[in-house]
Structure 1
Amino acid sequence: MPATSELCHIQLWCASAAEDTPGKIETFCMRWLAQEEHQSAAKFKVASARHQHVIGRGMARYLLAGDQTAPHQIQFRHLDHGKPIVEHPTEMRRPFNIAHTKGLVLCGLGTESADHWLGVDVEGIQRKTDPGLANRYFAPEEIEQLERTKTSDAKQFLFLKIWTLKEAFIKAIGTGLQTPLDQFAFENANSNTPTLKLKDPSLAQGRHWQVRSVTPRQGYIAAVAIGTDRSNLQPKIELADFRQKMQNA
């Protein structure tokens, strides 16, 4: 008999990011940054990009720390292609990943095993796209899905769904754009529960993968990729507003 499915809980925290003058969320998150993160933030010449960086790092620290330690005590280590993981304290190790786009920052947070691999991505649906990018980078199955899409608006939306799914997966495995995007494909990408097809089996990294498309806020599309060591785990994604968490601090 097939194994009964069990839920794998993922919190997807959302925070608005200012375009110009920093607001309450930026001020709150800034206090938790390490010195090198302050230095990195200062290098951003575009205010909106700087705010996204500050919120992403500060929010991650605050959520990972919980009630067990101070957020500034969290120490990160970066993998070869830049993915951050918790180095110390070891008991705070949980799967997490940060994504941001103009106006919005996400922090995906696993609530269970630290051995799960997690990646998230987000885009604004009004972002203008070049259809030629799909022909250049996507897998044939995905290009075919786009070609079957009738209207330009629907095609742009599907392109962004596929793009966020791809970004979430390569962020989860920690390779970033070093992995060719045509080596894996998403079948039934219009669905919120598409199927990941790996043309290079080594990309699975010995894990079972589930992907989801979600709408974190009106005007945005996001994706979550979760890799586990058990085939019967199904992700349950809970959307949460970081502003409410901050107000209760």
Structure 2
Amino acid sequence: MSTGPAPHPEDASVLTEAERAAAARLPADRRADALAHRATVRRILGRVLEVPPGELEFGRRPCPGCADAGHGPPYVRHPDNTLWISISHTGGCGVLVVADHPVGVDVEHEARPWSPEAAAKALTPSERAHLDSQPTPQARARAFLTCWTRKEAALKAAGIGIVTDLAAVETHPAVPGPVTLHAPPPAPPTPWYTGPVPLPPPYLASLSRSTPTAHLRLHRYGG
């Protein structure tokens, strides 16, 4: 996990041309944060895999629905390894999960905008009822983000991302967690054990994994 990483003079040097170009396309106020996040991911994985961060090569596993490697879950292609990874980033905070089994993570800032229209498209009837029962706008926003991060984490773990119908995933937001989620087809009928990642405000994150007994160790990196 990195919170509020400061720009580092060598951030760009460990990234590929494609990664630097992707950051350059972002609004000016987001570029340094994006560069720092991506460079931090490389530095952490470089330590784990004992290679210089600039030598890492990333790829994607085949999508479980169509077998297309263009949009499946990410992995480290070089050096050879058996790890599963999941990466999420919002302004000022990034989360990297490394595991020996499929995982998915999503992090959001508590100030992320949402609307009743978005809730109507992304949430199940019971999830919308839970939002409506919240006493304040802040509580409703947090309930929405609980649903959203759980959905995205489970769908990333399943390898299909949010290209599917989000309203087909019930997240049980009234339950603090962990909860068991099921991703819709084309994901396999695997249960995903999903719960909160303990982050400081104003961030909220959920982690989804294929085994309920795995031990989670949280390391803070950077500012």
Q: Tell me the distance in 1 between the aligned counterparts of 2:51 and 2:181.
A: 40
**Could you state the TM-score of these two structures normalised by the residue count of structure 1?**
0.76
Structure ranking higher in strand proportion:
1
2:63 corresponds to = none
Are 1:76 and 2:55 counterparts?
Answer: no
Q: 1:29 to 1:216 in 2, by over 3 A?
A: farther
Partner amino acid, structure 2, of 1:200: P
Deviation (angstroms), 1:143: 1.5
Gaps of 5+ in 2: 61-68
Deviation (angstroms), 1:28: 4.6
1:65 corresponds to = 46
2:75 corresponds to = 85
Q: Tell me the distance in 1 between the aligned counterparts of 2:181 and 2:195.
A: 14
Q: Out of 189, 195, 198, which is 2:182 matched to?
A: 198
Greater relative CO, 1 or 2 (CA 8 Å, sep 6+)? 1
Q: Tell me the distance in 2 between the aligned counterparts of 1:98 and 1:159.
A: 21
Q: Out of 1, 13, 31, which is 2:13 matched to?
A: 31
Q: 1:51-73 deviations in whole A, cap 9, x for unaligned?
A: 34323322222222216211111
1:120 corresponds to = 105
Matched residue pairs, number?
Answer: 214
Are 1:158 and 2:143 counterparts?
Answer: yes
Q: 1:117-144 deviations in whole A, cap 9, x for unaligned?
A: 1111111112332123112221122122
Structure 1, 67-76 or 37-46: larger mean CA deviation:
37-46
Q: Tell me the distance in 2 between the aligned counterparts of 1:184 and 1:207.
A: 13
Identity of aligned residues (%): 26
Given that 1:192 and 1:214 are in contact with CA atoms closer than 8 Å, whether structure 2 keeps it comes out as: no
Partner amino acid, structure 1, of 2:163: Q
Q: How do 1:1-249 and structure 2 match up within 5 A? A: 13-17=1-5, 23-24=6-7, 26-48=8-30, 50-66=31-47, 68-78=50-60, 79-81=69-71, 83-91=73-81, 93-110=82-99, 113=100, 116-187=101-172, 189-198=173-182, 200=184, 203=187, 205=188, 207-228=190-211, 233-243=212-222
Q: Tell me the distance in 2 between the aligned counterparts of 1:199 and 1:239.
A: 26
Gaps of 5+ in 1: 1-12, 18-22, 245-249
Q: Superposition RMSD on alpha carbons, in Å? A: 2.4
Deviation (angstroms), 1:169: 1.5
Given that 1:56 and 1:107 are in contact with CA atoms closer than 8 Å, whether structure 2 keeps it comes out as: no
Q: 1:39 to 1:164 in 2, by over 3 A?
A: same
Q: Tell me the distance in 1 between the aligned counterparts of 2:119 and 2:166.
A: 10
Given that 1:96 and 1:118 are in contact with CA atoms closer than 8 Å, whether structure 2 keeps it comes out as: yes
Q: Tell me the distance in 2 between the aligned counterparts of 1:200 and 1:170.
A: 9
Q: Tell me the distance in 2 between the aligned counterparts of 1:27 and 1:206.
A: 46
